[in-house]
Amino acid sequence: MSKSVLTEKEILFCRFFHATRNPREAAVKAGYKIFPEKVGLRLLSRQDIKDTLSELNNQTQTGDAAAGLRRLAFSSISDALRLLFAEEPLSPADLDGLDLFLISEIKRPKGGGMEIKFFDRIKALEKLSEIDNISDGNKISPFYNALTEGVRQLNGNSNDN
């Protein structure tokens, strides 16, 4: 049985789905404009797409939490800015197409305007670093490192007395 070759859009869909675990969003980002949710679900039912996603999962082996952290750390804020600076309220269809994953809170103060708070990218990067250290075989926790450093310092100080 010959292995089918995926189109560029299908490869993009696989990469975006691997990162987001959201078929509609992955389809939109890959360039499928008409009925992206249906297209995403249809693509996920294909065996060649499943095989590609399985390969991507085997390559990274980081899971959904790392994918979410990676998305928080590296995603664009352009859609949030589009929401913030829209001169007229966006339609529900326009809102549905926005990637607002980075937003932790939206407020409309009594005086007007809009306040948008984002998740902390630095914390997301720190957590990703911890996951990478664990997956690289460095299973020593920061707490353990602090304990061993404290013992080393105590031993060094006791020798100075």
Terminal Cα-to-Cα distance of the chain (whole angstroms): 76
Is the model more confident about 139 or about 43?
43
Rounded CA gap, 154 and 160, in Å? 10
Residues 85, 104: Cα–Cα separation, whole Å: 18
Grouping H, G, I as helix, E, B as strand and the rest as coil, residue 115 is: strand
Model confidence at 157: pLDDT above 70: no
For residue 60, pLDDT over 70 is answered with no
Q: Residue 107 phi/psi, 5° resolution?
A: -130, 150
Mean pLDDT of the chain: 82
pLDDT of residue 152: 73
Select from 23, 100, 19, 104 the least CA-distant residue to 66: 19
Say whether pLDDT at 66 is over 90: no
DSSP classification of residue 105: E
Predicted local distance difference test score (pLDDT) of residue 150: 72
Band of residue 2 on the pLDDT scale cut at 50, 70, 90: very low
pLDDT at 115 over 80: yes
How far lies 49's CA from each of 17, 26, 57, 59, 66, in Å? 10, 13, 12, 15, 21
